[in-house]
Amino acid sequence: MPTEIELKSLDGSKKKIVIKENCFSNKVLKLKDLRLFEATRKILKNRGIKTIEEIKSFLKPSLSQLYNPFLLIDMDVAVNRIIMAINRNERIFIVGDYDTDGVTATSLLLRFFREIGVKAGFYIPTREDGYGLSVEAIKRALKQGSSLIITVDNGITSVDEVEFAKNMGIDVIITDHHEPQKDLPNAYAVVNPKRSDSKFPFKELSGVGVAFNLVMALRGQLRKKGFFNGKDEPNLKKYLDLVALGTLADIVPLLDENRVCVKIGLFNDTHSTVGLESLKKVSGIDGIITSKHVGFVLAPRINAAGRLNDASIVVDMFMKDTFEEAEIIAKKLDEINIQRRKLQLEIIKEVEGLVKDTNDPIIIAANKGWHKGVIGIVANAIAYKHKKPTIIITKGEDISVGSGRSVGDIDLFSVVREASRFLEKFGGHKMAVGITIKNKYLDDFKQSLNDIVKEKYKDYEPVFKYEVDCDVSFSIFTRRFLEELILLEPHGPLNEEPLFIARNVVVKDKTYILNKYPKYLLGDGTSNLWMVSFDKLDLDIGHVYDIIFTATMKNGYPTFTIKDAFLLIKEVDCVAF
């Protein structure tokens, strides 16, 4: 049974720590033809992976584990309509979204259609246009002479827009992964694993994951009809790098089909597009892309285009055939991302000045000139720092828009819903909201939200919680065990990087990496390990701590990273450890 403890962090804040297992042994288990460290077995168990077959499938995923795409409702209808368009030489028009999932899904379909000789146009909305299928997108499709629209990563709520398209003589195939409303759009086909009548075994595909299933189904049906007779048939495996990129960026559970596509996609020997190669080079990434590269390096550069500019340039980059052409756009994305970071830091500084003396339970800051594309990530940064739900609003002349982020167990969406009488519109979920409000109601809205939070969460104290896989001794971290841990990658939702806790650890020595990040020699009585703190935690030599950390191999070397530390004893004799 998991145990829960509460410790005080170095900054004085309380942290809850749930410890799921004890891992003090180097024992290797023999599970039929599989050999596995006992600690690895326990970590997998924490993720609900228990049987030998489940373990094998998880550690060594293969394309054979992908489901039949025709299990998705309307997939047959969608494929038959696309084949009809191909046979009639109809022009196909793809409508995507401005985030990484949307642009990779758009690029995947475009590259596949180009490979099989089918003409297709595309449209990625800007944030000014608004999310998803729009009248503007449909008008562009008409202007290009398209009679079939395929949406990717959007469209499941576009009831009115689909009707408009039908009245204009355009059929719409929706491929999406967001939650459907009660009434689906009356489209030619609606392909979404979250449909209530869906028979697809896995519900948590990304938008690009649904698009990949469409391509699998379409290629299979074209094969049956002899389309590829006398010519090369596309090898879809190469497109899994785009699927991996979009899936990781969209933070969907990295289990089941998502894990198969991401694991194989990241380890593809070559990339399906020189655009990804150029973005890697500009971003300073050598070798295989990791989930951390996507989350902290690649996706921010791609998303920056949609935040401040036009994400269509990302699709253009992925469609280039020469490295030199793609690199020009990759450098532009890097410049936009630098601009995004600068804007973000400027707004954070302004918000801090506005709220520095507030005791309100919810932070609400509004000002003119704040860029709509970055207020969401600003809200996230402020909420994380102050441990309070936060809404950042950019003011227009009469109408303002805002983005909010929550903390802990506070349901920000329900709080905003209770005050929705002041809003033009709103949406979101427990941890994130978006609002549109007339300026004359800003003060009333702010007061109402504070009253609601005070009443509903009057005794609430946000406490950060760690879900720790194992209480460990340092002696288990052999090279073989660390190499086995690599098999658990890539990490993401429901397969987070394993967290370990070591108790009563003494600091024996200290140095620095790049004259910036402290690196400590720690001992627990069984072994000594060097660990780095990228958060620059200040530990004192001779003091005793409980340490939460991660462990892996990086460039062939054992690497340990301190995530948090809790002081237990101020001075001990290091020799005893």
| Residue pair 172/155 in contact by the 8 Å Cβ criterion | yes
**pLDDT at residue 572, rounded to an integer:** 63
In tens, the pLDDT along 494-526 reads 999 999 999 999 999 999 998 999 999 999 999
Q: Which residue has the higher pLDDT, 454 or 462?
A: 454
Q: Of 319-323, 390-394, 461-465, give the lowest mean pLDDT range.
A: 461-465
**pLDDT at residue 105, rounded to an integer:** 98
Chain position carrying tokens 């089918």: 118
In tens, the pLDDT along 65-92 reads 999 999 999 999 999 999 999 999 999 9
Distance CA 249, CA 246 (A): 5
CA 53 to chain centre: 28
Q: Is the pLDDT of residue 577 over 70?
A: no
**pLDDT at residue 555, rounded to an integer:** 83
Q: Is the pLDDT of residue 268 over 90?
A: no
Tokens of 152: 């990717």
Distance CA 371, CA 83 (A): 43
Average pLDDT of 99-105?
Answer: 96
Q: Is the pLDDT of residue 348 over 60?
A: yes
Q: Looking at the chain, which residues constitute the CATH 3.90.1640.30 domain(s)?
A: 65-236
**pLDDT at residue 507, rounded to an integer:** 97
Most confident of 21-25, 78-82, 464-468, 489-493: 78-82
**Which of 285, 262, 231, 242 has its CA nearest to residue 108?**
242
**Which of 162, 255, 159 has its CA nearest to residue 206?**
255
**pLDDT at residue 576, rounded to an integer:** 52
The CATH code of domain 65-236 reads 3.90.1640.30
**pLDDT at residue 536, rounded to an integer:** 92
User: Contacts by 377-385 with C-beta closer than 8 Å and gap 24+?
Assistant: 377/344, 378/344, 378/347, 378/348, 378/351, 379/403, 379/404, 379/405, 380/405, 381/344, 381/348, 382/348, 382/351, 382/352, 382/355, 383/407
Q: Looking at the chain, which residues constitute the CATH 3.10.310.30 domain(s)?
A: 362-456
| Residue pair 94/152 in contact by the 8 Å Cβ criterion | yes
Strand 189-191 with 171-175, pairing: parallel
**pLDDT at residue 573, rounded to an integer:** 61
Distance CA 430, CA 412 (A): 5
**pLDDT at residue 447, rounded to an integer:** 95
Chain position carrying tokens 């077995």: 41
What percent of the chain clears pLDDT 70, i.e. is strictly above it? Answer: 99
List phi, psi (to 5°) of 322.
-115, 145
List phi, psi (to 5°) of 160.
-70, -40
What percent of the chain clears pLDDT 90, i.e. is strictly above it? Answer: 81
**pLDDT at residue 461, rounded to an integer:** 73
Distance CA 76, CA 70 (A): 6
**pLDDT at residue 179, rounded to an integer:** 85
**pLDDT at residue 557, rounded to an integer:** 92
List phi, psi (to 5°) of 180.
-75, 155
Quick one: three-class SS letters along 7-35?
EECCCCCEEEEEEEEEECCCCEEEECCEE
Q: Looking at the chain, which residues constitute the CATH 2.40.50.140 domain(s)?
A: 3-23+464-576
Beta bridge partners of 436: 401, 425
The CATH code of domain 362-456 reads 3.10.310.30
How much is the pTM?
0.90
Q: How confident is the model at residue 546 (pLDDT cuts 50, 70, 90)?
A: very high
Contacts of 375 (CB under 8 A, 6+ apart): 347, 392, 393, 394, 401, 402, 403
In tens, the pLDDT along 358-410 reads 889 999 999 999 999 999 999 999 998 888 999 999 999 999 999 999 988 88
Q: Of 13-17, 447-451, 530-534, give the lowest mean pLDDT range.
A: 13-17
Q: How confident is the model at residue 288 (pLDDT cuts 50, 70, 90)?
A: confident
Chain position carrying tokens 């596309």: 234
- 3-23+464-576, superfamily in CATH? Nucleic acid-binding proteins (2.40.50.140)
Q: Is the pLDDT of residue 574 over 60?
A: no
CA 535 to chain centre: 22
Average pLDDT of 412-420?
Answer: 92
Q: Is the pLDDT of residue 429 over 90?
A: no
**Which of 189, 181, 182 has its CA nearest to residue 213?**
189
Most confident of 283-292, 344-353, 564-573: 344-353
